[in-house]
Amino acid sequence: MTSGTLLLRQIHPGFVQDGRVTFQAFRPTPKDEFCLSVDNGDRLAAEAAWRRFTADPVCASAGVQAVSQSDCAAQALPVIEDGRPHPEHCSIDFSDFDKKTIEKKAKLLRAAAATRGWLFTEAAA
């Protein structure tokens, strides 16, 4: 992984309104044990990541956005190449921070992702 590696994030349809994505899409939920799931964009294309994710009928995704490894580094967020549950899987680790700080970091990640726009959308599938 390099500083330019894109980390692919699936965006739930409920987290999109009128084309705008909430910063919640870039923070772990309380049940995620402070780790945000992403895929390594060097090893997996956005469309392939979306297709694998949505193959599970429980999971829904309006599309894929991405932050870079350097975006995370700028927020002092380690990126862990954990390879689970699939080889390309990574986790952005928020465990060193409290809720309010996590929200600020998520807002900055959202802004970085928004400048890149959608890498893949459900409509293109």
Partner 1 sequence: MNQEFLRPRLVGRRFDEHSLPLDILKDFAALEEMLVEVAKRQYRLANPERKRVLKGFTKGLELHLTAVENGSAIPVIALVFSTLFPSADAEYFDQAKDQIVEAIAAAEHGQTPDLPPELLRYFDRFGRGLREGEAMEFVRRTGQTASLTPATRERLLRASHAEQWTEEVTLKGRIPEVDQADHSFELELRDGTKLKARLLEAHRKTVLDAHYNYRDGMVVAIKGVIERDRADRLKSFESVEHITPLDPLDIEARLEELAQLGDGWLDGKGRAPEHAALLRLAQAFDEHYAPDLQLPHLYPTAEGGVQAEWRLGEWEVSLEIALPAMAAQYQALHLKTGESRELDLTLAGAMTSRAGWR
Give me the residues that bind partner 1 (CB under 8 A), please. 12, 14-15, 17-18, 20, 22-24, 29-31, 58-60, 100, 103-104, 107-108, 110-111
Query: In sequence order, which residues have a C-beta less than 8 Å from that of residue 50 and are 6 or more positions away?
Result: 10, 61, 63, 64, 120, 122, 125
Token duo for residue 47: 């469309």
Smallest distance, partner 1 to C-beta of residue 58, A: 4
Residue 20: CB partners within 8 Å, gap ≥ 6? Answer: none
Minimal distance, residue 25 CB to partner 1, in Å: 9
For partner 1, the closer CB: 11 or 66: 11
Q: How far is the CB of 59 from partner 1 (least distance, A)?
A: 5
DSSP conformation class of 6 = E
Which residue, 1 or 117, is less far from partner 1 as judged by CB? 117
Torsion sign (Cα): 87, 88, 89, 90: positive
Residue closer to partner 1, measured from CB, 23 or 94: 23
Comparison of 2 and 20: residue with beta carbon closer to partner 1: 20
Min dist. Cβ of residue 110 to partner 1 (A): 8
Q: Which residue type sits at 58? A: V
Say how many C-beta atoms besides its own lie within 10 A of residue 94's C-beta.
Answer: 24
